Amino acid sequence: MKAHYLLLTILLFGSVLVTNAQEASDKAQAPSELEQISATLLDYIEGTANGEPDRIKRAFHEDLNLYTVHDDTIRARSGQKYIGYFKEGEKNNRPGRIISIDYENDAAMAKVEIDMPSRKRLYTDYFLLLKVKDHWKIVHKSYTYRDYPSVTLEKKEAIKEK
């Protein structure tokens, strides 16, 4: 009887060790929250730059709206309409980069810059993201831009003289 208890104890202890080792292995392989949020932001950045509407759809929540200020008035646009501007395989010269990410539990905010040389503008996007069913989704985008500094003929001459 003691042998049975000893065998049972050894089996239970062994299964606990195997379970704990498997959980540790799963955690080591799972991407961190920052990596997951970054992946969502890169779906947006690279999807818009490379003409990949499916990646943009993957990043955006279906009810997302985009907001900006134009002529001192708030302008809103649906995310679905925005996605429609991007055609499969049609690349756009709009390199982007993630500036910052902050998150707590299942909510995050991020700042991204998108350089648009054709418009001579640097856009700044502010995103709110939520994690739903183990996936981070952009649920809100507010954006603004600043024009490239203009270089006048006088400034060019001053630069040459230095």
* Domains of the chain and any CATH numbers: 31-147 (3.10.450.50)
pLDDT value of residue 11:
45
Token pair for 60 = 């955006």
Instruction: Say what the pLDDT of residue 30 is.
Output: 84
Angle 127-129-77 from CA coordinates, rounded to 5°: 50
Q: Give the separation between CA 144 and CA 37, rounded to whole angstroms.
A: 22
Output the pLDDT for position 16. Answer: 46
Q: What is the pLDDT along the chain (162 residues), one digit of tens a residue?
A: 555 554 444 544 455 444 454 555 555 678 999 999 999 999 999 999 999 999 999 999 999 999 999 999 999 999 999 999 999 999 999 999 999 999 999 999 999 999 999 999 999 999 999 999 999 999 999 999 999 998 665 565 666 666
What the block records as the tokens of 149 is: 């500094």
3 state DSSP class of 40: helix
pLDDT of residue 154: 59
Q: How far is CA 116 from CA 33, 83, 120, 145, in A?
A: 29, 17, 6, 10
Answer yes or no: are the C-beta atoms of 126 and 69 closer than 8 Å. no
- Which pLDDT belongs to residue 152? 62
